Amino acid sequence: METIIYNQKGEKVSEIKLPETVFGLPWNANLVHQAAVSMMSNKRDPIAHTKGRGEVAGGGRKPWRQKGLGRARHGSIRSPIWVGGGVSHGPINEKDYSRKINKKMKKKAFLTALSRKFKDNEILFLDNLNLSSAKTKEAAGLISSLAKIEGFNKLTLKKGVKAVFATAEKDGNAYRSFKNIPGTNIVEVRNLSLLDVLNNKYLVIAGAEKSISGLAE
């Protein structure tokens, strides 16, 4: 299994052999779905909170006497059937949404998603990502050059298309240059996650040789 490595101008530079264990796995939708849902649940921060009848202010006494007025009997204005009363079965911020997922499953799901993205021709390999300065203009020019490659022409679209750039090492200039470009994100390849792969249409792997060896390990 081989693929082409491009430079920052979108020109073919060389070819590289890819490990089957990373980019050649069969698709497993159930595994990927289970891992993705678990990861999103673990990131979820419960904010929504409603007050029950025991938390609402007021209602210290019975609204009116039990009998003799021809009205329905009530014990407190904090009852859920009263306007301004407590909420029945509402969301609370103490709920724990976290889910357990095994390390082997998480790793296998990540590599499965990588393999599918490579099969769909949505992974681009760069020999290097080197920007001379932290300028958004340079990053935009790089994206325009890569968009000339067959299959990656949608990189320059402003809406609906997302791309994540994975670098072999942290690069301050690159991070600051891509910061103001909507629809793009940049991470170190060691921090690349399943959600990064699934939430972005394109994956650009820079420093191809070092990055691929890191993924294989």
Domains and CATH numbers, the chain: 2-44+98-216 (3.40.1370.10), 46-96 (no CATH)
C-beta atoms surrounding 52 within 10 Å: 15
Whether residue 111 contacts residue 21, with contact meaning beta carbons closer than 8 Å, is answered with: yes
How many Cβ atoms sit within 10 Å of the Cβ of residue 170? 12
- The pLDDT of residue 119 is 94
- Mean pLDDT, contiguous 10-residue spans, the chain (217 residues): 88 90 94 95 92 89 93 93 93 91 94 95 90 86 90 80 87 86 89 93 90 86
- CA of 11: how far to CAs of 123, 139, 155, in Å? 15, 17, 16
Token pair, residue 30, equals 């159930």
| DSSP helix/strand/coil, 17 | strand
- The two structure tokens encoding residue 182: 């909507």
The pTM of the whole model exceeds 0.75: yes
CA 110 and chain centroid, separation = 12
pLDDT of residue 23: 93
